[in-house]
Each structure stands twice: as C-alpha cells, then as structure tokens.
Amino acid sequence: MKNLLLPLALMVTVATAGEQFAMSDADRAMYKEMLENNPADIFVEEGGELFEELGDEKALAKFLGVSEKELPKYIAGFPRYIKKLGNVVGIDQVLQAMQVEQGKEKYKLKSGKMFSMLAYVKSLANDEQFTIDINADEHIKASYDLGKKTFETPRGGRGLSCLSCHSADIVGQVLRTQPLPDLGKVGAGATWPAYRMTKSSLRTLQRRFQGCMKNALLKVIPIGSKEMVGLEVYISTLAQKEKKAIAIPGLKR
C-alpha cells in the first residue's frame, strides 16, 4: 500500500500545481529570443574545435569502420553496440576511446569539454531520423530492455520512477513550473545536448537524467553506466517511433 500511496501523493501535488506555476511571460519572451540565438551554439562551435584535435569526421568514420558519407546516418544509430569496445555505448564513449587510442587526454564523460564535443558530433546527424535497431543484436536488445526497466522501476523511499512523471495519465500536468511531457512526442532523445536556461549551461541527455534523479531524491546513476546508456537507448527509440528528427543543440527551460 505504501508504494501505491507515494506515487499517488506526487500525482496530487502535480495535478494541483496550477497555472500560476507555469512559465512566466518574461520566461516565454526569453525562450523565444533564445530559439533564434541559442547560447548552445557557442558550445557546439567549441566542440568542433576540440573534435578537430581528434582528426575530424574522417578519423571518426575510420574508427567506426564506416565511410564519411555514411557517418550522419550511423551517428543517428547511437547508442549502439561497438564490437571493438565490447559494449553498447554512446557517442561520448566513442570519443573517449579515440582519445585513448591517440594518446590524448581523456575527457571525463561529465566534463564541459565532453558535453561540447558530443554536441558537435551529434549535430552532424541533424535532420536525420534515429536508426536504432533494437533487434540488430543481443547487446542492443539487452541495453534497450535494461533502459526500459530502469525507466519503469520504482526506486528510493518514495517509490518513484521516470514513469511516475511521464506516464500517459500524468503527461501535461505541471510540476516545478513545467508541464510534464510525453518524451516521445517532444522528441527528447533527439534534442539533447541542449542549453538549459535554468542552469545557464549545456547539458546532455544523461546529465538531465541525473538531474531528475536528484530532484526525486533517488540515488544518481553514473553517466556512461549500462543503466544510463540503456535509458538513452530507450528514450531515443521513443523519439524514433514519433519520427522526430535529430536537432542539436536543443533549448530547454
């Protein structure tokens, strides 16, 4: 009974939040202006300069075993299983592996430099549809299943999960000044890395997951872990089902 009551209490809080907590007119005006001049463009440009140190698109295509022409569609298939790395990985983990292979400094997955470089590389696939095939091999299937389980499984003393705020019966309600979205219909997986207005910085999808976990008082899962990569696979496939094209960098409140 306790596990049922806690999510219910959250739903009541959300449902009674009211329009008075929605985005203000000033915030809406700022958001509209930033749509035309996204501050994240500066970070993407920085990421491009950092990426050049690894040899640019030609080096990435070679590392992945694809042609430069195929690279945008191949990037749209991440996270994916990379045999030479032995795991389903995100693009940021591929960039780390390239740095190690070339004897360069390995950026931490949670570092600003990695966020910028990831944003640039993922932007190479802008306007592409996701090409994730969860039935391509046992590895990606297992990663998808783990991501879905992580998304749906209640954790912590409150018994909350990602689904507590993003199930069909609660989408649209307001929590912490924001309407809770259907992650597939808003193309969440296709619009991160993004500039977060409330943080005044560039954030990645996995970093956003961590923020949600922290707000819900859940144990924060490390970026790059199997659970986090699985979550990214799962959320990206939701955008894929809605035919949401990749559009990096995004802009979020």
Higher pLDDT, 81 or 4: 81
pLDDT digits (tens, 9 = 90+) for 17-35: 334 345 556 665 655 656 5
pLDDT digits (tens, 9 = 90+) for 82-114: 999 999 999 999 999 999 999 999 999 999 999
Q: Which domains are seen in the chain, by residue range? A: 2-252 (1.10.760.10)
pLDDT at 96: 98
pLDDT digits (tens, 9 = 90+) for 134-176: 999 999 999 999 999 999 999 998 899 999 888 888 777 877 6
pLDDT grade, residue 222 (50/70/90)? very high
Burial class (CB in 10 A: 0-12, 13-18, 19+), 115: buried
In degrees and rounded to multiples of 5, residue 183 shows phi and psi of -65, -25
The percent of residues above 90 in pLDDT, for the chain, comes to: 73
For residue 208, count other CB atoms closer than 10 A to its CB.
Answer: 18
pLDDT at 6: 40
pLDDT at 68: 97
pLDDT at 178 over 80: no
pLDDT at 13: 42
Q: Is residue 238 within 8 Å of 188, Cβ to Cβ? A: yes
pLDDT at 26: 60
Higher pLDDT, 215 or 76: 76
pLDDT at 168: 81
Tokens of 222: 């490390």
Strand locations in the chain, DSSP E? 80-82, 87-89, 174-175, 178-179, 194-196, 201-203, 250-252
pLDDT digits (tens, 9 = 90+) for 67-84: 999 999 999 999 999 999
pLDDT at 118: 98
For residue 125, count other CB atoms closer than 10 A to its CB.
Answer: 24
pLDDT grade, residue 181 (50/70/90)? confident
In degrees and rounded to multiples of 5, residue 129 shows phi and psi of -85, 150
pLDDT at 5: 36
